[in-house]
Amino acid sequence: MVIGRLARVSLRRYVGAGLLWVTFFAVPLLTGLVLQAVFDAISGQRAASLDSTLWLCAAFVAVEAVRGGVFWIAMSLWPYWWQGAGATLRANALRSILTARGPAASRLPHSSGEAVARFRDDAEDLIIATDNIVDLIGAAVFAAGAFAIMASIDPVITVVLVLPLTVIAVLNRMLRGLITRVHRQARQLGASVTAFVGETFAGVLAIKTAGAEGAVLERLRAHNRRRRNAAVKDRLVMDMLDTANSATVEISIGLVLLLATPAMRSGDFTVGDFALFTSYVGWLTMLPRILGRMLYRIPQGAVATERLTRLMATYEDADDLARLSGVWFRQDPPPALTELPERTDPLEVFEARDITVHHDDAGHGVTGVDLRVDRSSFTVVTGAVGAGKTTLIRALLGLLPLDSGSVTWNGQPIDDPGTFLVPGRVAYAGQVPRLFSESLRENLLLGWPVDDGKLKTAIELAALERDVAEMPDGLETVVGSRGVRLSGGQVQRSTAARALVRAPDLLVVDDLSSALDVETEHLLWDRIADAAGAGDGPSTVLVVSHRRAALERADQIVVLDRGRVVGAGALDELLRTCPEMRRLWAEESVVEAEEESVDPMIMNSNRTM
Ligand SMILES: Nc1ncnc2c1ncn2[C@@H]1O[C@H](COP(=O)(O)OP(=O)(O)OP(=O)(O)O)[C@@H](O)[C@H]1O
């Protein structure tokens, strides 16, 4: 169970501070006993001098002071466990998304807002449930002590007090299913609002240019209405339970008063006993209250566990979610990567057989694709828009789940391409590049441990050096959504440089043409080829392109049409034998001729994102 594991994240602190909390809960037992003695002394039911009465009052103050001290120490220790537990849950979910076997894309929710909501709210639900266990133990310790003391004074009143507490426990138990259902819906709808707001912020420009402000606001209102209704229900169920629990307090105090009066008249029950009982009754209601809270926290924790583990690999479960991964409070965590991963199996041949990935029942994707990439070769995958080029590349790299097929590295089957085909074997520059709001240097390295010389080489290979020289702070310029906005071509070349700095055996690049002019693309491939010749860059390249710059230098071209290979071989041969290749070539020739006739300055300014 995750809750048990979460406690072990920092067991010393959980147990240490937990014991203090239990002490804090148990101290009122002493308070009751002191009160009993004080009131008996004052009422004359037990013989006592003025001095001893004053000492008893001082003891009362001392007990309360100790309770305050215990509270203060527990409060200063508890956050260490609390933050450690939160960090563990979130780090494990993130670790699984980034490094677990199998494609992560299919596990991620549709929007990052939904994922953020799970990281924030669901993790918190689990921590609160674990935290409440300590309260429950404290309340139970107090209840056990209080019942023992009260039973020794008046067993009948004590037994009667148990009844309302039992009723409340049964009621809580009966409502458990309802609580789970209502809470799951509230969480889902809450996350959908977060997701919608996130997408709206990201798409402000698109919304404005489409004149869709009104429609977006209306959609947000609709999301909010649904969320509000679900949140009200969620709150209502919890408040209903809390109210029922509070009512138990009133009923219990009433019962003590009712039963104690005749006993006091007969002298069996002293004023001190009455003071002790009423002081205990207030605290005793903690137990059904916390038990009640626990009964809805546990189903809420189950919902949270399920939502968080859905972000993780299918073979991982709730135990992996709370696996100890180390939390650093006072010192810096060890660096993620200090040296380059060792490569013992340099690429000779990379092969894929019968790759099939269908995105939907209509069969969109790729079907039965075979591909062989030899060391030091330049392979181009080409095809019309939507032919399946990106799907094929992502499937090869393990970024999409395969419906069928296999990939091998030097003849050895690759069990999990997603974790095997990573830098330093393979580096991938995707079609939709991502830059973070960090310096350009950080963006290119992303923690990859290489020196400035290698970084400079990668920048030159990606034909980015002039752009860097013109940036206000060179490599230290903060770029990305909260920094300098780079042009589409600069972003593409930055991601190419990010791939190149990893000095992969196999460089995979998905379509640079949308953001690079013909001339720059020529330059880029020339430089990469020169570097490969000098042993200074990747010699094996797999690229998606319809550009002549890439097609003309290809050792082999794979032509895709509606997800199937309709031609494979050298350009000359394909132009003779493959009608689709001829059509693509003719189309590209016209486009590039037009492009070359347009002023390059205009081309570049059009491409700025
Ligand atoms: N996640 C997805 N869900 C459903 N269908 C998808 C998904 N991704 C791609 N497709 C569909 O699969 C087909 C192949 O898409 P893919 O992106 O692989 O084509 P492509 O050749 O790379 O296109 P482009 O030249 O526009 O990049 C298209 O019909 C596309 O609509």
Question: Residue 489's pLDDT band (boundaries 50, 70, 90)?
Answer: confident
356 in the same domain as 298: no
* Co-location of 297 and 394 in the same domain: no
**pLDDT tens readout for residues 120-165:** 888 999 999 999 999 999 999 999 999 899 989 888 888 887 777 7
First-residue to last-residue Cα distance in the chain: 48
Confidence class for position 118, pLDDT limits 50, 70, 90:
confident
Confirm if 85 and 128 have CB atoms less than 8 A apart: no
Asked if 217 and 357 sit in the same domain, the reply is: no
Structure tokens at 301: 């924790």
Domain boundary (304, 321, 338) is at 321
- Cα–Cα distance measured from residue 441 to residue 501, given in angstroms and rounded to the nearest whole number: 11
Confidence (pLDDT) at 233: 92
Domain encompassing residue 54: 2-321
Distance (Å, whole) CA 540 – CA 556:
12
Q: Give the Cα separation of 460 and 497 in Å (integer).
A: 8
Q: Is the pLDDT of residue 482 over 90?
A: no
The residue whose C-alpha atom lies closest to atom 16 belonging to ligand 1 is 388
> Which pLDDT score, from 0 to 100, does residue 351 have?
95
Q: How far apart are CA 390 and CA 387, in angstroms?
A: 9
Lookup result for tokens 């972003």: 491
In a domain, 344, yes or no: no
Shortest-distance Cα residue to atom 24 of ligand 1: 385
For residue 524, tell me if it sits in a domain. yes
Mutate to test the pocket of ligand 1, among 107, 367, 389 (most ligand atoms within 8 A of CB): 389
Query: How confident is the model at residue 45, as a pLDDT?
Result: 67
Same domain, 409 and 317: no
**Residue 331: inside a domain:** no
Distance CA 85, CA 79 (A): 10
pTM above 0.90, yes or no: no
- Number of C-alpha atoms within 13 angstroms, CB side, residue 601? 0
Decide whether any atom of ligand 1 lies within 6 Å of the 564 Cβ: no
Q: What number of other Cβ atoms are within 10 A of residue 51's Cβ? A: 8
Rounded to whole angstroms, how far apart are CA atoms 220 and 196?
Answer: 7
Query: 420-448 pLDDT, tens per residue?
Result: 888 889 999 988 778 888 899 999 999 88
pLDDT at 518 over 50: yes
C-alpha–C-alpha distance, residues 427 and 502, integer Å: 7
- For residues 310 and 388, membership in a common domain is answered with no
> Which among 161, 186, 181, 364 has a CA at the least distance from the CA of 257?
161
Q: Which atom of ligand 1 is nearest to the CA of 394?
A: 18
Domain boundary residue, one of 303, 321, 339? 321
Find residue 108's DSSP bridge partners: none
Say whether 451 sits in a helix, a strand or coil. Answer: coil
pLDDT in tens, 369-409: 999 999 999 999 999 999 999 999 999 998 888 999 999 99
**Mean pLDDT, residues 98-107:** 73
* Residues 119 and 44 grouped into a single domain: yes
- Asked whether residue 599 carries a pLDDT value surpassing 60, the answer given is no
| Cα 546 from Cα 426, distance rounded (Å) | 22
| Ligand 1 contacts CB of residue 391 (under 6 A) | yes
Q: Quickly state the pLDDT bin for 601 (edges 50, 70, 90).
A: very low
CA-CA distance, 304 to 484, in Å (whole number)?
Answer: 38
Cα distances (angstroms) measured from residue 36 to each of 6, 61, 148: 41, 14, 15
CATH code for the domain in which residue 540 is found: 3.40.50.300
Assigned domain for 341 exists: no
The answer, yes or no, to whether any atom of ligand 1 lies below 6 A from the CB of 100, is no
| Structure-token pair, residue 477 | 């310029």
Give the pLDDT of residue 286. 79
Q: CA 421 from chain center: how many Å?
A: 24
360 pocket-lining for ligand 1 (C-beta < 6 Å): yes
> What six digits make up the tokens of 393?
């590349």
At 50 the pLDDT is 67
Ligand 1 in reach of 364 Cβ (< 6 A): yes
Phi, psi angles (nearest 5°) of residue 552: -70, -25
Q: Is the CB of 390 under 6 A from ligand 1?
A: yes
Least confident of 23-27, 238-242, 466-470: 238-242
Those residues with Cβ within 8 angstroms of residue 584's Cβ, 6 or more apart along the chain or in another chain: 382, 383, 384, 546, 559
Name which of 102-116, 317-331, 425-439 the model is least confident about: 102-116
Quick check: is 101 in a domain? Answer: yes
DSSP 341: P
Is 408 found in the same domain as 267? Answer: no
Bridge pairing between strands 426-429 and 349-358: unpaired
Instruction: Indicate whether residue 383 lines ligand 1 (CB < 6 A).
Output: yes
What is the interface pTM, i.e. ipTM, of the complex? Answer: 0.94
CATH of the domain at 62: 1.20.1560.10
Ligand 1, atom 30, lies closest to the CA of 386
- Residue 477, classified by CB atoms within 10 Å of its CB into exposed (0-12), middle (13-18) or buried (19+), is middle
Instruction: Identify whether the C-beta of residue 358 lies closer than 8 Å to the C-beta of residue 403.
Output: yes
Question: Do both 280 and 397 map to the same domain?
Answer: no
Counting from 1 in the atom list of ligand 1, the atom nearest the Cα of 431 is 27
Q: Let me know if residue 340 belongs to a domain.
A: no
Does residue 546 line the site of ligand 1, with CB under 6 A?
A: no
pLDDT at 602: 43
Task: Decide: 386 in ligand 1 pocket, CB within 6 A.
Answer: yes
Pairing label, strands 349-358, 540-544: unpaired
**Is residue 413 lining ligand 1, measured as CB closer than 6 Å?**
no
CA dist., res. 322 & res. 130, Å (int) = 12
**What is the Å distance from ligand 1's center to 580 Cα?**
18
561 to 359, 386, 418, 513, 584: CA distances (angstroms): 16, 9, 26, 19, 11
Q: To 5 degrees, how large is the angle CA 95–CA 101–CA 102? A: 115
pLDDT at 609: 37
The contacts found for 143-147 with CB under 8 angstroms, 24 or more apart, are: 143/284, 143/286, 143/287, 145/26, 145/29, 146/29, 146/32, 146/280, 146/283, 146/284
Q: For 584-607, what is the mean pLDDT? A: 66
Question: Are 525 and 386 members of one domain?
Answer: yes
Average pLDDT, the chain: 86
What is the C-alpha separation between 475 and 467, in angstroms, rounded?
10
- Which among 344, 375, 340 has a CA at the least distance from the CA of 506? 375
DSSP code per residue over 17-39 = HHHHHHHHHHHHHHHHHHHHHHH
| CA dist., res. 499 & res. 237, Å (int) | 53
Q: 460: Cβ–Cβ under 8 A, 6 or more apart, which residues?
A: 527
Count other C-beta atoms under 10 Å from residue 318's C-beta: 19
**pLDDT number for residue 585:** 93
Q: Is 387 in the pocket of ligand 1 (CB under 6 A)?
A: yes
Residue in 107, 358, 359, 369 to alter for ligand 1 test, most ligand atoms within 8 A of Cβ: 359
Structural domain includes residue 163: yes
Using DSSP's 3-state secondary structure scheme, residue 388 falls into coil
37 in Cβ contact with 4 (< 8 Å) = no
169 neighbors 288 (Cβ within 8 angstroms): yes
Any ligand 1 atom below 6 A from CB of 400: no
Give the residue, 595 or 71, on which the prediction is more confident.
71
Q: How many CA atoms lie within 13 A of 383 on its CB side?
A: 26
Tokens (6 digits) for 565:
């290979």
- Highest mean pLDDT among 41-55, 312-326, 577-591 belongs to 577-591
Report CA 276 to chain centroid distance, whole Å: 50
Are 392 and 271 found together in one domain? no
**24, HSE (Cβ side, Cα atoms, 13 Å):** 18
What is d(CA 182, CA 121) in angstroms, rounded to the nearest whole number? 15
User: Do residue 79 and residue 202 come from a single domain?
Assistant: yes
Determine if residue 503 is left, alpha or beta; phi over 0 gives left, psi from -120 to 50 gives alpha, anything else beta: left
Domain count within the chain: 2
Residue 410 or 252, more confident: 410
Examine the pLDDT at 47 and tell me if it is beyond 70. no
Residue 557 pLDDT grade (very low, low, confident, very high; cuts 50, 70, 90) = very high
- Residue 326 in domain: no
The answer on 456 and 307 residing in a single domain is no
Q: How many angstroms is it from 389 CA to the middle of ligand 1?
A: 8
| Residue 366 confidence (pLDDT) above 80 | yes
Whether 608 shows a pLDDT value over 60: the answer reads no
Q: Rounded CA gap, 146 and 126, in Å?
A: 30
Could you report the per-residue pLDDT of 173-193, keeping only the tens digit for each?
777 778 878 888 998 888 888
Average confidence (pLDDT) over 205-227: 91
Dig out the tokens for 376 from the structure: 């030091």
Greatest C-alpha distance within the chain: 118
Query: In one letter, which amino acid is 556?
Result: Q
Which amino acid is it at 67?
A: R
Percent of the chain with pLDDT over 70: 94
Residue 607 has a pLDDT of: 39
